[in-house]
Amino acid sequence: MKYQSSLLQLLESRDYIHQLTDAEGLDALAAKEQVTGYVGFDATAPSLHVGSLVQIMLLRRLQQAGHRPIVLMGGGTTKVGDPSGKDSSRQLLSEEAIQANIASIRKVFERFLDFDGPNGAIMVDNDDWLSTLSYLELLRDVGPHFTVNRMLTFDSVKLRLDREQPLTFLEFNYMILQAYDFRELYQRHGCRLQMGGSDQWGNIVNGIELTRRMGGEEELFGVTTPLITTADGKKMGKTAAGAVWLNPDQLGPYDYWQFWRNTADADVLKFLKLFTDIPLQTIGKYAELEGQEINEAKIALADAATAMLHGEEAARMANETARKTFEQGASDDNLPSIASNGSISVLDALTGLGFCASNGEAKRKIKEGAVKLDGAPVTDPQLLIAVVGQPAKLSLGKKKHGLLLP
């Protein structure tokens, strides 16, 4: 359909929309008034990673279209654990650890959202209301609106059971608490929109229905994004070297820049739309590039994505460092290399290049954080590196660099 509101026009033009509960209703609402919408994030670590970035960008797009974003931190739901897509229960964190994680994560959102002004973002913690709920109150007021029959059909539950993996009663309640969040945000902040990944569709619909059944008089809406995967079918945010963290103390600006610079040719235009503010007209010009020229688009992606998170100066320095490193590597005929025959273990690569005398030394260097693969830290000593199409660069410290040949 042809959308009237700048919000849905923006989301559609940059390929964020996978599902909508009521496209016409949300479009009409967003065209006539400011809409408050939220995305929820659990606080299981001190930093979110790139896999959460599309949801962060959803909130940014909401604000760019003149609407009000809410960052919902799951201080309460983190105590339970979302079973979606997992085969085992999460390790339960202490209250102190959860609050420390939330404080650390907030710093990232301050880079992407404006917390001041008429549509300034707000960050809330669902522990503020979930921790005050008594068990009997939850059973009496919320329980009647859920049936076990239906809960068993949700993917987050069904997939775990189909794989014959245990699902605790604690986790089984997660979807009830998440639905209650929507109802609470509607009452407290007039929030009428929940956004999330495609795996959250059932939870979003639950929240809409629960709020309506518990006295909500206005229509609520849900939007989900498609699952963002790379051209090789891998989930966004994961690399051979591990998670791509957003907090700079867990992954520095240069390594973050390198992650985007190493984007596959087939992904670069999609990522420019989703993860940068580069105008669509400019992105369209990048689509005309062929062969080695596509590297211009990759550098533009790396510059823009890094500047958004770490600032313009950090992005400029990362670009300059990468350029000097490339020129030095290109002019060094003695750069060591080793054939991978398509794949090679990181331990074999380190010893084969002569960087380490033994597997034991290689493991120690990995533990110390001294080993990088294409600029990203390697944390797993059992890592099997796939080398397809072009060489991969393995580094030990700042001075030892070698190529893993396909």
- Which segments are annotated as binding site for L-tyrosine? 38, 174, 178
Task: List the binding residues for ATP.
Answer: 238
Q: Please give the pLDDT value at position 175.
A: 81
* DSSP per position, 171-198: HHTHHHHHHHHHHHHHHHH---EEEEEG
6-225 maps to CATH 3.40.50.620? yes
Residue 304: per-residue pLDDT: 98
Q: Which residue ranges in the chain fall short of pLDDT 50? A: 83-89, 331-333
pLDDT at 241: 55
Which parts of 213-268 are beta strand (E)? 221-225, 238-239, 242-243
Question: What is the predicted pLDDT for the residue at 85?
Answer: 46
Q: Give domain limits for the chain.
A: 6-225, 252-330, 337-404
Is domain 337-404 in CATH 3.40.50.2300, yes or no?
Answer: no
Q: Is the Cβ–Cβ distance between 274 and 227 less than 8 Å?
A: no
DSSP state of 2: -
* pLDDT of the residue at 335: 62
Distances from the Cα of 341 to the Cαs of 338, 346, 376, in angstroms?
Answer: 9, 14, 22
pLDDT for the residue 65: 97
Return the CATH fold of 252-330: Tyrosyl-Transfer RNA Synthetase (1.10.240)
Q: What is the pLDDT of residue 86?
A: 46
DSSP codes joined into one string, 264-285:
-GGGHHHHHHHH----HHHHHH
Tokens linked to 152: 């068993």
Per-residue model confidence (pLDDT) at position 375: 82
User: Which pLDDT value is given to residue 328?
Assistant: 56
